[in-house]
Structures are given as structure tokens and as C-alpha cells.
Amino acid sequence: MERSLPVWLLAALLVALLILLPLAWLVVLSLSTGAGAGLGSYRAALTDPQLGKALWNTIVLAFWVGAFSLAIGAPMAWLTARTDLPGKRTIRALMLASFVTPPFLGAFAWVMLAGPNAGLLNKLYREVTGAQEPLLNIFSMPGLIFAVTLYTFPYVFIMIANTLELIASDLEEAAAILGARRVTVALTVTLPMVAPAIASGFILAVLQALALFGSPAILALPAGFHTITTQIWSYFQYPPKVELAAAASMPLLVATALLLWLQKRLLGRRGYASVGGKTGQRRGIALGAWRWPAFAGCLAVMACSIFLPYGVLAKAALSRAWAQPLSWDNFTLANVWFTFWQYSATQSAVVNTLELGVMTATVGALMAAVLAYTVNRRLVPGAQFLPFLVLAPVVIPGVVLAVGLFIAYTRPPLVLYGTLWILFAAYLTKELPVGYSQSDATFRGVHTDLEEAGRILGAGRLRVLREITAPLARSGIIATWCFIFIGVIRELSASIILFTPATKVISVVIFDLKEEGQFGAIAVLGLFMLLVTFATVTLMQALLGRDVLGVRE
Amino acid sequence: MNRARALIAALVVACAITGGAAWAQDPRLEAAKKEGKVVWYTSLVLPSAEKVAKLFEAAYPGIKVEVHRTGSQRIIQRVMQELQANIKTVDVIHTSDAGHFVMLKDKKLLAQYTPAGTDKFPAGFKDKDGYYFGLRATVNVIMYNTKSVAAAEAPKTWKDLLDPKWKGKEVTAHPGYSGVTATHVLALVHLYGWDYFKQLGQNRVMLTQSANDPPTVVASGERIIAVNGGEYSAYQLKKKGNPIEIVYPKEGVPLVVSPTAIAAFAPHPNAARLFTDFTFTRDVQQVMADSEGLYTGHPEVKYPADKPKLGELKLLTVDADELEKRNEEIKKRFVEFFGA
């Protein structure tokens, strides 16, 4: 009997408890009607015309976000991975920035850019053309799709660019030698090879859009429509209808699970493409006259995603009135002063957020490492099933997870609501799949030879892990830490249901400020959040010595 | 900022001269200092709430005020949600939905406490059993952006807002969030029936949450007409030079008296009483009238000359009990007509 077995077993049990408890409660409560068990809540939820509309809106949103993310992400991935596009590094750096920008912050910035009347772009458009009608209306379904796509297409980009990097270019060259034109090569040779990656990128984008809370709350509610996440949130209004919220969470949960299953199947078939890894060479396709126009196109996309939103946030942070022109009269530091020193919620929210970020990242990275190690070295019986459990939270949208946690931890024996621990549990559960995937890759890369040598010389499993494996896996574990940390400090959809005034986090404070139209303070906090994020990313890049998006140089 | 500082300084001096000595001997002071802080769930617009908190902290060093500002409906949601989980955080509850206090009193969640000086307040500001008292009042008004709408064209009556020419140009706050707005909706339902809101909903009105937000939306020019909203926020914006004008419809303006009460389970009861007394002093009530543009029940408060006196306006009032009973109906119908 292996002496270290209890350690691995304990870790596995803890994960099971963390994930299964809220899910079990969710199911139990969705089936309770107050007067006993039954399908009453489901009936009430299904017959609620509001929820029906919200569901439909969600489907529309998710589909179009998926489609547009693909339309933008796929060509950009091809351009940066396979062609002689200028400024590839810049595009990738911007892509990373867009990837880590919290979508609700982007949505908020776009309110200032494309609000139909006060939006700066619309004002400019009116001045230039003399038109009466606005160019863009961000408070609409198309507006919402647009604002969500801007921060979702990087998922598609990463998915496809990574695959393209792995595919050798000999097939493409063969086609070119046989006289095919560049576009024909791209469409008939490259495209089929990356088709699974494309489909799975589409699904990933759809999943992101399904689970999003912040952007619909900022853009859809003023326009008078709900998505499923905002609808679930509104069930918490007094008097709360937690049973209804639980029942309404189910379609979202099922849809997410199905889509992920589909994605896994698609990716599993990737084998038919010539993904060889080591064989063949990749040569850039010459774009010729299209080089600079293509570069300009990429920059235009990044302008919508990064330059314009960040610019308008900076302007709002430093202006008395964000809609007025930037001038010395309008310049002020009052927003910064108000946000950090006068508004009493800020300081504690900053402390809470950082505390939760560090705690979750540390515990999460350790847990992910132990689990990945357990699975890779098959240390407990049934280890091959652990990944399913650990990756399960991926199918739970933040709002749904929060409903489950809320139910589980507002009643004895474990009342965590009102403490930071409930947020910690939520974040840990939510980030575990990310952390696990990252650690899994790390341990796969650490060969067992060295460990075995240590074992033969008489060291126990834990000592080998501490003295041999851990040092080898260190940079991977640190990267996991950073990933989790970034995920935690931007989290909104679970926090918005689980916070209490004493346990507010930055994202919740931003949301509170939004309700009152305190644009300046939101911009200040938003920029602060981005600053912390980018500092973490820089640290991670330095430690890893490579691009965190995983695209090879 | 400097204004706020000057006010604090002036107030501290005033306290030292007039009431400071008396406060210092207050036997509750020692107990309150031991408690160290008071937790205030408030729907008062954020900068105003922070200002009142800072004034208190300046007058009573050593006792901190934790301000948690959100919409009335979300305050009540928080309070009830926390109680369900047996969390006792809040000391002083202040929302703009008088119905909440009827409900809280019924559930025995309020402490009976009559703040010093409120005996001189008019009846509309006092609960007959002494559980809650009106800290401030405002009226719901129409607002328009002066850059986009000429004074002559601006809507004068509530019904003018139904004109299709304002389609896509109006903004409203949400009764599912804001108590000021819930009161407003009920008052107008009394006047015109639900049909009024059904018609208004056809104008594709932009929805905001807080009653403080329609004024900021109008000031920024995002929409040019606010179909309701707290007059005090609009007044403040106007004072700061924003292009916003206030219309007081002659059919009447819904009066919203926002009560405050101490929770029966308050973890810092002494600090809560000190703070509540403090907020009803003439000085603080005058601050609310001066810089915040609010109305109060305090008989000695003087109002800015550029604002109508409450007595000059036709006021529409709603009964707190009715507001409490019809809360669900108001939210449901509103969502039906406005979409979310």
C-alpha cells in the first residue's frame, strides 16, 4: 500500500464535494415547490413568457456571437499563422489584451462610444454627415452581439491559430505547385484540415456568449430585453424565487453540457488532419499586394476591441463629464480621488478582490497540480475518471454555479454566505478546469524517468514530488497560478449573486456604480483592474519565456 | 471636493459651538465608540450618502460609517437574503420605498426609536408607532435636455410624454429596482390607470435602474426626455452646469418620502441611534436641502431660492400599505409594458 494514498484520495474527495454539492442542491431545489417535491418550478419557469423570451434572446445572441467570432477570428488566425503578414507580434499582443479584457468593461466602454445619442462615435458621425439618425445603437440586440463578439473572437483565434501552427505546409505547397491559386489553396486544402478546430472554436464562442452576465446586463436591460443569465439574476429580486432560478438554470446547464460534448467529439476526430507536430515545415504564404490591407483590417478589429474602448475609459476617468469634449476645463482627477478615497466601498473591494485572487490562485494551482499528478501517474484507483469531475465545472455557467452555491451554503451545516469563503468556493470551482488543463499539460511534459530514479534510490512518492517533479514543473505551475488569478479578479457572473456588502469585489462595485451612471468612477476602477491584469500577464510571460496564448513563435 | 471639505469644517465648528458639548456628554457615546462603526444600507445618491457619512465621522471621531448604496429594492433584497442566512450586518436601513418599512415592521425587524427632534416633523414623515421616520423627500418630475429640446416644445404634463414624437428619445427608471420609481408608478396609476404605462411603453423608452440615472442619461444627451426621476439628482446636475431642465407637471408630482429605521437586530445599536439622531439634526437636514436639493420634514430648514417650495407644488401621495401590497403587481405590469 502506497503511504501517500490518503493525500491523493483526500484531494479527489474534496473536488467531488466542491463540485457535486452545489449541483445536487440545484437539482433538489428546482424540484421542490415549497409544498413538496414536484415539477412545479419547471412548469412555472417554462410557462413564464418572460423566460421564454429570454431563452430565445440568448439563443440569438449566442449563435451570432459564434458566427461573427468565427468570421473575424478564423481569417486573423490564418493571417498570423500562415502568411507573411507584417506586425504579427503586435497583432498577437493585442489579441492577448483583448482576451484578458473583462467583457463587461468592454460593453461599458461601448456605451460611451456607441450610445445612440451621446455615444462619441455617433456624435462624430452626425457632425461629419449631418445625419439625424445614429450610426450605431449599442442598446440593441445587434449592439449586444457586436460588443460580446469583440471579446469572444480571441477564443476562436487561439483555437485555430494553434492548430494551424501544428499542421505542416507540404500539402498546401503541393497544391500550389500544381497551379492552385492562393485562395483556392486556403479554401480547399487548409480549410478542411482545420475544420474541426473551426467548429470547436465556434462552439467555444457560443458557450462564452451563453454564460455571459455583465454585457447583457449593461446593454440589453436598458433596451428592455433579458437574456437567460439576467433573467436568472432577476429572480433574486425580493421576494426571491430561488426555486424558479434553479429551474431556469437547467436549460443553460444542459445546453452547455451538450455543446461541450459535441466539441470534444469534433476535436477527437482531429486525427485525420496531418497534425504531425514534428514532420514537415511551415512556410509563410506570400500575401503580395494584400499584405498591408490585411494588416490594416486586423488593426481595425483590434481598434474596436482595444484602442477605442481603452481610450474612452481613460477619457471618462479624467473628465468631469464624459460626453463633453476633452479640454482643460473638463480635465479632473476628482474621479480618481472619489473612487479610491471617498467611496467607502472601493478600498475593501480592492482588498477582497486581491485576497480572493491570491487565495484562489494558490489553492487552485496546488490542487490542480496534485490532481493532474494523481491522474497522470494513476495514483488512486479510478484515476482515469477524475478528469471528468475536475473538468465538469466548465459546463456550469457562473450564474448557475452561483445559484447552486447560494442554495448550498445559506443553510446549515455550512453557512458560508456572507463570508469570503462562498466566493472562494465559487472561484475555485470555476477556475479548476482551467488550472487542471494547464497542470495536466505540464505533468505530461515531465518524464517519469527522473521520478523513477528517485524512487529506486528509496525516496517516497511525496518526497520525489517535492524534490524532483515540482522543481521541473515549477514554471508551469506558476503559469497556472497567473491564469487563475486573472480569471478571479474579473469574475462577475457568480459574484453578483453571492456577494454581501461586506464581501464586495471590484467587479460588483463596478456593477453597482453602473446602476447610478457613475461613469468616471467605473472607468477608474476598470482601468485599475486592467492594470493588475496586465501586470500579471507580463509576469507570466516573463516566467514562461513564451506567449501565453500558446501560439508558437 | 473643496466645497465638501468646507462644509465639514463649518459643521464641525458649528457642532463645537452649539451642540458639541451636549453630544460629548451623551452616555451612548462611549458604547457607540466601543462598537466602532455603523453600517448604513442606503438608497441616497452615492456622493450625498458619502458626504453625510463623512460629516458624521468628523463629528464623532472613532465611529466609522460603512455606506452601502444601492437601489431600494436591492437593499430590501439584501436585508431579507442576509436574514435568511442568519447574517446580521445592517444597522440603519434607508430606502425610498415606504412599503418596505410596513413589511419590515410587520415582520418585527425594526427597532422602535424616535430620533431626536422629529416631534416637530409633519405627519407624513412619521410612523404612528414610532418605528420609521422620513429622512428626506423628493418629487418625481419630467426632465429634458436643453440642448436638444426648446423650452416651448418640452412636455408640460405627464400625458405629453405619450406623444409618439418622443419615440426612442425617452428614459425611465425601473420600479423593480428603485423605490422612488415604484412610488411614482403607483401615483400615476391612481391618476390615469395602467393604460398610461401601456401607452408609454410603446415609445420604446430606455430603461435604467436607479431613479438617479435618468437625469444623468438626459444630461449626457443619450436620451433627451426623462419620464420620471428624482428631482434632487436633476437639481444637482443642473447646478453643476449640465444642460438639463426640470418640469413640474401641474397635475401633480408624486411625493416620495424616504424613511429610515434601525434594524431590530442591529449589531451596533448605540452607534445606529447616534447616527440616526445625527441625520435628523437641523445642520445635516440643511446640508441635504442646500447641496443635494432634497426636501426634508425639518421645519427650520431653508430651501434654495431657485427651487419651488413643497407647499407650492401639487403633491401626489401614495399610501405605504398600498405600496407594500401592490409591489409585485407594479413590477410585473411594468415588465410587461417595458420589456425587462
Show the cell assigned to A202.
Answer: 465556434
Mean of pLDDT values over B103-126: 93
pLDDT digits (tens, 9 = 90+) for A483-503: 899 999 999 999 998 988 888
CB A489 within 8 A of CB A482: no
The residue with greater pLDDT, B253 or A329, is B253
Residue A14 counted as domain residue: yes
| A271 has pLDDT over 50 | no
CATH code (residue B114): 3.40.190.10
Chain B contact for A332 (CB, 8 A cutoff): no
B239 shares its domain with B324: yes
Residue B3: its pLDDT value, please? 53
Res. B23: pLDDT tops 80: no
Residue A34 has a pLDDT of 58
Check CB contact under 8 Å for A418 and B89. yes
DSSP states of A427-471 as a string?
A: HHHHHHHHHHHHHHHHHHHS-HHHHHHHHHTT--HHHHIIIIIHH
Q: Is B310 on the interface with A (CB under 8 A)?
A: no
Contact A196, A267 (CB under 8 A): yes
Average pLDDT in chain A: 85
Q: What percent of chain A has pLDDT over 70?
A: 93
pLDDT score for B156:
96
Do B201 and B324 share a structural domain?
yes
Question: Both B249 and B264 in a single domain?
Answer: no
Q: Is residue A455 part of a domain?
A: yes
A549 inside domain: no
Secondary structure of chain A: what % helix, strand, coil (to 5)?
75, 0, 25
Residue A35 confidence class, pLDDT cut points 50, 70, 90: low
- Mean pLDDT across B99-111: 93
Residue B69: its H or E element: strand B64-69
Q: Same domain for B96 and B48?
A: yes
**pLDDT over 70 for what percent of chain B?**
93
- The answer as to whether A552 is a domain residue is no
Q: Is pLDDT above 90 for A316?
A: yes
Neighbours of B83 (CB within 10 A): 16
pLDDT-based confidence at residue B11 (cuts at 50, 70, 90)? low
Q: How confident is the model at residue A362 (pLDDT cuts 50, 70, 90)?
A: very high
Whether residues B27 and B76 share a domain: the answer is yes
Residues B30 and B82 in one domain: yes
Q: Of the ranges A355-369, A402-416, B95-109, which one carries the lowest mean pLDDT score?
A: A402-416
For CA atoms A313, A317, A323, A328, give the dihedral sign.
negative
- B331: chain A residues, CB-CB within 8 Å: 237
Q: Which of residues 141-180 of A touch B (CB under 8 A)?
A: none
Q: Are residues B87 and B208 in the same domain?
A: no
What is residue A382's three-state secondary structure? Answer: coil
Same domain, B105 and B230: no
| pLDDT given at position B172 | 97
- Write out the three cell numbers for A282: 511551415
pLDDT at A384: 73
Whether B116 and B152 share a structural domain:
no
One domain for residues B97 and B47: yes
Confidence category of residue A283, pLDDT binned at 50, 70, 90: low
Say how many CB pairs under 8 Å bridge A and B: 129
Who has greater pLDDT, A11 or A96?
A: A96
pLDDT at B18: 47
Confirm whether A48 is domain-assigned. Answer: no
> Looking at residue A274, what is its pLDDT?
46
Nearest CA in chain B to A339: B47
Domain housing A508: 5-28+53-320+331-544
By the 10 Å C-beta count (0-12 exposed, 13-18 middle, 19+ buried), A531 is classed as exposed
pLDDT at A253 over 50: yes
Say whether pLDDT at A264 is over 80: no
B49-89 pLDDT per residue, tens: 989 999 999 999 999 998 888 888 889 988 988 887 788 88
pLDDT, residue B19, reads: 45
CATH classification at residue A259: 1.10.3720.10
Mean pLDDT of A157-164: 86
Whether the predicted pLDDT of A535 surpasses 80: yes
Q: What is the mean pLDDT of residues A333-347?
A: 88
pLDDT band with cut points at 50, 70 and 90 for residue A276: very low
Query: Total structural domains in chain A?
Result: 1
- Which residues between 83 and 102 in chain B have a beta carbon less than 8 angstroms from any beta carbon of chain A? 84-87, 89
**Res A33: pLDDT:** 65
- Considering only CB atoms, A500 lies closest to which of B46, B87, B338, namely B87
**Per the domain annotation, does A502 fall within a domain?**
yes
Are residue B112 and residue B177 in the same domain, yes or no?
Answer: no
Q: Which domain holds residue B104?
A: 2-135+258-303
A380 vs A144, higher pLDDT = A144
Higher pLDDT, residue A15 or B162: B162
Residue A38 lies in a domain: no
The residue of A312, A499, A516 whose CB has the most chain B CBs within 10 angstroms, and thus the best one to mutate to test that interface, is A516
Q: How far is CA B65 from the centre of its chain?
A: 18
- Domain match, B157 and B237 both: yes
A396-405, B112-121, B158-167, B171-180, range with the lowest pLDDT: A396-405
H helices then E strands: how many in chain A?
Answer: 27, 0
Number of folded domains that form chain B:
2
Question: What DSSP string runs through A482-546?
Answer: HHHHHHHHT--TTHHHH--GGG--HHHHHHHHHHTT-HHHHHHHHHHHHHHHHHHHHHHHHHHTS
Q: Return the HEC string of B225-259.
A: EECCCEHHHHHHHHHCCCCEEEECCCCCEEEEEEE
Q: Which residue has the higher pLDDT, A552 or A372?
A: A372
